[in-house]
Amino acid sequence: MFGTYTLRGRFRQEKHSDHAREDTMDRSEAEKEIQQLRAEIEYHNHRYYVLDDPVVSDTEFDRLMHRLTELERSFPDLITPASPTQRVGAQPLGQFATAPHTIPMLSLANAFKEEEVREFDSRVRKLLDTSDVDYVIEPKIDGLAVELVYEKGEFISGSTRGDGYTGEDITQNLRTIHTIPMRLFSHQDIAIPDRLEVRGEVYMGKQEFRDLNKKRGLTGEPIFANPRNAAAGSLRQLDPRISAQRRLRMFCYGVGQMLGFTAETHYQFLELLRKWGFYVNPLIRLCSGIEEVITAYGRLSGMREELPYEIDGTVVKVNRLDLQERLGSVSRAPRWALAYKFEAYEETTVVDDIIVSVGRTGALTPVAILKPVVIGGVEVSRATLHNEDEIARKDIRKGDTVLVTRAGDVIPEVIKVILAKRTGTEVPFRMPEYCPVCKEKVVRERDEAVRRCVNMNCPAQIKGRIRHFASKRAMDIDGLGTKLVEQLVESGLVRNVAHVYEVRKEDLVGLERLADKSAGNIIASIERSKNPTFSRFLYALGIPHVGEHIADLLTESYTDIHLLMNAQEGELMKIPEIGPEVANSIVTFFEDGENRESIERLLRKGVDIIYKKTALSDASLVNPMAGKVFLFTGALTSMTREEARKKVESMGGRTAASVSKTVDYLVVGEGGGTKLEKAKALGIDLLDEAAFLKMVTGPNSP
C-alpha cells in the first residue's frame, strides 16, 4: 500500500515547481495577459447580463475567470478593485461610510392624470418660450436610486441617494452587480471623461423577488413586501457576499458630474452610456411633442404586467440638455422632468377569513381570503400569508383591515394591518395540527418555518407525487405523464402510488383520448418498472430531502427496505452526509401509517426491489475504495472526469461535488483551483493522477 504522507509530499513538490514556472513568467507579460483577460471577461459579462446575448459558453467563461484568478494569485500586487475577480463580494463592513453627492440627487414631481402632463408641457413651453419641445419617456423603475463614480474610466465608488445630498457608500455591494461595468468600454471616437457620475436605479426582478421570498418563507426569515424593499434590503447589507447572492441589476438613466465630456441631448447621453457598457432600458423612447409622450405612456402601461421587473410609472424628461439647464429646478425637483405614474398597486380591504392550502410537496400555506378589491385593474380576493411566523410578525387576524399590494404578476401580499381600524372583535390565527385535506397530523420540521403534511397519499399532493414516482429517474414508467396522471387521479382510479400497479388496460381505454395500442404500451411499461434498484425506489417515494444522492447513500447501509423503515435518527446520522434534518425527515416519513401501508402494497403488487449485493462493511475488507468519497479538481490526462467518476463508483466508492469534511480524497489534475485550497485547509488527503490510477488499478499494478 502507499502512504498518503508521501503522496502529499510529492504533491507539494509539484505545486512548488508550478509556482516556480509562473514566477519566472515575465511580470510585464503577466500584466499584459491580465489586462487582456479582464477586458475579455468584462466583454462577455456585458454580453451576458446587459445584452442578454452571450457569445461564449459558461465553461469558456469559467476558463477565462480561472486563468485570471491563477495569474492574480501569482502576482497579487496586480489585483485591482475593478478586476472581475472582485465581483464575488469582499469582507463585511462594520458600518457604511457617508458619501456626499457632488451634485444633489433630486426627486421628481408626480402626475397621475393626462391633464397634469399637458399642464407640465404647457409650463415647459411657456418658460422656454417655444412651441415644440422634444421629450424622452422612460419607464420609472421601482427600485432605489444610486450614483456610480468613474475616474479615468474606472469604477471607483458608488452610493445610495440618501437625503439627496449625502448617501451611504455602498461601493463593495455595487461591485457585485453584473450590469454595472467596472471599467468603461473604450471607443476610438469617444473620449473617456476624467470623472463621470452616472445615476440609475438598482432593482430586483420579479422572478428573483419571488424566489427570494420563497426561500425566506421556508426558513422563517421575514418576507419582503415588494421587489423595491428587497432590492433596498439587499443593497444595504454590510456583508457584500449576501448582496452578491441577491441577483440585483441596475438601469442607468442620468448623470451627475461629468468632467471632460459633454453631450447635447439626454437621448444622446443615454446612447453614450450604452456604448460605455451601462445597462440602459431598451423601452426608452424619444418623442416630439406631448401627444407622442401620451401615446408612449399608454404603451408602457400596457406592458407593465409582462415586464420582468416592476415599473410604477414613466419619467418624462426634456431632451435638450441646454433647455434642461434653462428650466432649472424648484423645491428639490427639476422643472424639466415629471414622473407620470401608473395607478398604485395597493389597496386596503378586510380579511374575511384565513384558510390553509396544501401544496404539491405537502407544505401548508396560510392564505388570506379578502373582501374582493380591484387593484390596478385586477380583482384580488386572496393573498398569501406565507407561514405562521409571518402572520405572527405582522399580527394579521381574521377581520382585520389590511393594506394589500399586487405587484405586477407577483402573488398579492398583505403588507400590514391598519391597526387604527381594529375593533377588538378580530380573531387571531392558529395553524392547524392536522392537514385540512387528508386530516393526518402535520409536522413542523426543524429549522423550517412551514408545517408539512407528510402523508404521501394526501389528495392535495397525490398528482405531483405520482408524476414524480413515474418519472424517468425514479420508476421510469414511460407514458405515465402529467395528463394521464391527472385523468387517473380525477377518475378515482389511482389514489396512491401503489394503485398504479392495479390499473388494467380496460381502465385506460375507458379514459379520454387513449387508444387501445397506447393503453397496451403503458401497461407494458408499468410492468417493466417492477424491478427498480433500491436507490431508484427510495427516490421515487418522494421523501422530503431524499434526492438521488441521499437515496444512493442509504442503499449502501441498508440491504432491505424494512430495515430502513425501522431506522432511528441516530443510526441514520452515522452515515456520512446525513445530518439531523434529513434523518428526521426519513424517520417522520416512515412513521406515517399510510406511507408504510403504501409501501407494503407496492411490494404485494409485485414491485421487487433490487438491493446492492455487498453491504459496506464487507466490501471495505476487500476493496480500499469502498465507501470512500472522492472529489476531483483540474483535468486528468488519462481519462475524463466522467470516466473517473464511473471508475470510482464501480469500485464501491463515491464522488462528491464540493469540498466538505466527508471527502476522503481530492484527486488533483492539471489546473486544480479553489477546491485545492479548501481541501488543504480541511486536511483532506490529496492524490495526484498517478496515485489515483494506482488506486483504481490496484496496488500491485506497475
Which residues does residue 401 pair with via DSSP β-bridges, in sequence order?
A: 350
> How many residues in total does the chain contain?
702
- Could you say which of 230, 337, 435, 489 contacts ligand IVH (CB under 6 A)? 337
> How many Å apart are CA 201 and CA 573, to the nearest integer?
48
In the complex, minimum distance from the CB of residue 148 to ligand IVH, in angstroms, rounded to a whole number: 14
Q: What is the SS3 assignment for 562?
A: helix
Contact flag: residue 286 with ligand IVH (CB under 6 A): no
Contact flag: residue 267 with ligand IVH (CB under 6 A): no
Contact flag: residue 232 with ligand IVH (CB under 6 A): no
Binding range to ligand IVH, per CB under 6 A, among 95-103, 104-112, 119-127, 181-189 = 104-112
Residues in contact with ligand IVH, counted by CB under 6 A, come to a total of 15
Contact flag: residue 205 with ligand IVH (CB under 6 A): no
Q: Are 111 and 340 in contact (CB under 8 A)?
A: yes
Distances (CA, A) of 41 to 36, 69, 501: 9, 12, 54
Contact flag: residue 525 with ligand IVH (CB under 6 A): no
| CB of 253 or CB of 534, closer to ligand IVH | 253
Q: Match 407514458 to its residue by C-alpha cell.
A: 479
| CB of 315 or CB of 475, closer to ligand IVH | 315
Binding range to ligand IVH, per CB under 6 A, among 42-50, 85-93, 135-143, 396-404 = 135-143
In the complex, minimum distance from the CB of residue 210 to ligand IVH, in angstroms, rounded to a whole number: 21
Q: For residue 446, how many C-alpha atoms fall within 13 Å in the half-sphere facing its CB? A: 10
| CB of 142 or CB of 448, closer to ligand IVH | 142
Catalytic residue from among 140, 206, 317, 341: 140
Contact flag: residue 138 with ligand IVH (CB under 6 A): yes
Q: Across 299-400, where does the E strand assignment appear?
A: 311-318, 329-330, 333-334, 337-341, 346-358, 364-375, 378-384
Residue at 435: amino acid letter: C
> How many Å apart are CA 110 and CA 102, to the nearest integer?
25
- Could you say which of 44, 46, 101, 140 contacts ligand IVH (CB under 6 A)? 140
Binding range to ligand IVH, per CB under 6 A, among 137-145, 296-304, 531-539, 654-662 = 137-145
Q: Match 472529489 to its residue by C-alpha cell.
A: 631
In the complex, minimum distance from the CB of residue 285 to ligand IVH, in angstroms, rounded to a whole number: 12
Instruction: Identify the CA nearest to 363 among candidates 439, 435, 429.
Output: 435
Which residues does residue 169 pair with via DSSP β-bridges, in sequence order?
A: 159
Q: Are 133 and 220 in contact (CB under 8 A)?
A: no
Q: What is the SS3 assignment for 556?
A: helix
Contact flag: residue 582 with ligand IVH (CB under 6 A): no
Contact flag: residue 106 with ligand IVH (CB under 6 A): yes
Burial letters 554-577, b for 16+ CB under 10 A, else e: bbbbbeebeebbebeeebbeebbe
Contact flag: residue 37 with ligand IVH (CB under 6 A): no
Q: Match 423503515 to its residue by C-alpha cell.
A: 565
Binding range to ligand IVH, per CB under 6 A, among 138-146, 484-492, 622-630, 634-642 = 138-146
- Angle 362-367-370 (CA atoms, 0-180°, nearest 5)? 160
- Could you say which of 108, 180, 625, 667 contacts ligand IVH (CB under 6 A)? 108
Q: Across 28-143, where does the E strand assignment appear?
A: 98-100, 110-111, 134-141
Contact flag: residue 341 with ligand IVH (CB under 6 A): no
Q: Is 206 a catalytic residue?
A: no
| CB of 296 or CB of 484, closer to ligand IVH | 296
| CB of 345 or CB of 692, closer to ligand IVH | 345
Distances (CA, A) of 681 to 114, 656, 674, 676: 65, 17, 11, 9
Q: Which 55-94 residues touch ligand IVH, going by CB under 6 A?
A: none
Contact flag: residue 307 with ligand IVH (CB under 6 A): no
Contact flag: residue 162 with ligand IVH (CB under 6 A): no
> How many Å apart are CA 200 and CA 271, to the nearest integer?
14
Which runs of consecutive H residues, i.e. helices, occur in 220-249? Answer: 227-235, 240-245
Contact flag: residue 250 with ligand IVH (CB under 6 A): no
Contact flag: residue 204 with ligand IVH (CB under 6 A): no
Residue number with the smallest Cβ distance to ligand IVH: 145
Residues that bind ligand IVH (CB under 6 A): 106-108, 138, 140-141, 145, 161, 201, 253-254, 315, 334, 337, 339
Catalytic residues: 140
